[in-house]
Amino acid sequence: MSTAKIRLYVEHPLGQGQTVPLNRDQAHYLFGVMRQGAGNAVLLFNGRQGEWRATVTEAGKRGGLLTIEAQTRPQQDPPDLWLIFAPIKKARTDFIVEKAAEMGAARIIPVQTDFTNAERIRQDRLQAHAVEAAEQCGGTYVPEVTDLQKLDRLLAEWPETRNLMFCDETLVGEAIRTDGHAAPWAILIGPEGGFSDAERARLHGLPFAHATSLGPRILRADTAAVAAMTVWQQRFGDWA
């Protein structure tokens, strides 16, 4: 029995004895890029039913077939945490999505703020980055990456039971705080230019919002996303 070296996200139901067809892109990656073939083992997950070991039973340039043998890990969902951020340069936005998926965000929401530079995103491309991150980090869950939303509309429709930790650069140097109770939570990271005065005033006035500093230095947006998720995971998440 060969050792499974590759994890692959699929959308099909998973269960012992089931067969899973591969599309052209998956077949190209598995057989063309990774040089796998009939008899090789692959780990599969669909974000709902845990991780399963499968064997390649058919390998072709345009498709293939996997047969599931046994479950290797149960489903493990992340904490009920959203990461909300203002898109920045392409590579750094990709980084934020990848790290959010690796660190256990349940949902990733790009937002348009007053000072956001990017006016559009490729949601499908960012979702693919989240899938790749889950494949590589051993996760069994893939967070949804939503389309770009306006921050003011998102706040207007905010669920009252969800706390919001927003990282306010004007509080730099103050003690890091994560006020409130356990999940559900959301973390909001502002754009490179920071929040506007109007946005900051609105956020400070919302009963569910909790302003916090991320330490004695102002962090870049992509660094701030990782730092904020680390602080939250240590206090409320599944790292303990």
Higher pLDDT, 68 or 177: 68
Are 159 and 230 in a shared domain?
A: yes
Question: What is the widest separation between alpha-carbon atoms in the chain?
Answer: 62
Are 226 and 126 in a shared domain?
A: yes
- Which residues neighbour 157 within 8 Å (Cβ) at sequence distance 6 or greater? none
How much is the pLDDT for 4? 86
pLDDT of 55 > 60? The answer is yes
pLDDT of 172 > 90? The answer is no
Query: Average pLDDT of 57-72?
Result: 94
**Total domain count for the chain?**
2
Asked if residue 39 lies in contact with residue 55, where contact means CB atoms within 8 angstroms, the answer is yes
Higher pLDDT, 89 or 143: 143
**pLDDT (tens digit, 9 = 90+) per residue, 72-125?**
999 999 999 999 999 998 899 999 999 999 999 999 999 999 999 877 899 999
Q: Answer whether residue 208 is part of any domain.
A: yes
Are 195 and 153 in a shared domain?
A: yes
How much is the pLDDT for 33? 93
How much is the pLDDT for 30? 95
CATH number at residue 62: 2.40.240.20
Sign of CA dihedral 11, 130, 231, 182: negative
Query: Average pLDDT of 140-169?
Result: 95
- Among 73, 92, 125, the domain boundary falls at 73
- Angstrom CA distances, 81 to 76, 107, 182, 188, 231, stand at 14, 7, 10, 11, 13
Q: Answer whether residue 158 is part of any domain.
A: yes
Mean of pLDDT over the chain: 92
